[in-house]
Amino acid sequence: MSQVIITSDIEGTIAKLEALKTTQHFVKIIKEDTFLVEDAKLAIEKAYMASEEITIIILGAKRFSPIVQNKLLKVIEEPPPKKEFILLVPSKAIILDTIRSRLPIVVLNENIEEEMLGLDLNQLSLATVYEFIQTHKRTDAKSMKILVENIVKEAILSQSYNLDEKTLTLFSNSFIALDVGSSPQFVLNTLLLKLLARKKR
């Protein structure tokens, strides 16, 4: 149940979570911009309040400082009975490695599509490839499949590449490689470097 959700639409995601709610009780601490130390203290207080039903504490903001995340770490790592935490953030880069190692990360599709806009396939270069791979060095296989799918669509639509049969086969093989456990970053690296080589001059 406890997890980090990467989403560009925090309010919309909360609405979806509430629609799924059955017997759980929701406690929401949502900030428009930055999650503060006092918000973290409030979350910890709510976590230690006794309850008969499962309580899901939803924390959402554009920014969570390392100080705030470290303050939340213990209660997230060892939550009191019947307490779960869901963190809503716009980017995976915000979350500290210590929290990433303890909570599963779910990337919602609409956010992946937004992130794709950060890579202009018409202006692809070694520098932009390197930067993009660095941004996604911790992206998991499931999220990478969505990302690769978007790159393939964008590449075909852009008409900026000489896409021969070999390259199209590589696109298909990328999905197979992710399914059988290849490193998501290796797959992304291979795909983008191959695309770069096929770019129309």
- Contact (Cβ atoms closer than 8 angstroms) between residue 38 and residue 46: no
Question: Per residue of the chain (201 residues), what is the pLDDT tens digit?
Answer: 789 999 888 888 888 888 877 667 889 999 989 999 999 999 999 999 988 888 999 999 999 999 999 999 999 989 999 999 999 998 887 888 888 888 888 887 544 444 444 677 778 889 888 888 888 888 888 888 888 888 887 887 778 888 888 888 888 888 888 888 899 999 999 999 988 888 887
Beta bridge pairs of residue 6:
89, 107
165 Cβ contact partners less than 8 Å away, ≥ 6 residues apart: none
Per-residue pLDDT tens over the stretch 45-104: 999 998 888 899 999 999 999 999 999 999 998 999 999 999 999 888 788 888 888 888
Superfamily, domain 3-107: P-loop containing nucleotide triphosphate hydrolases (3.40.50.300)
Spatial CA neighbour of 72 closest among 99, 108, 33, 52 = 99
- Contact (Cβ atoms closer than 8 angstroms) between residue 24 and residue 52: no
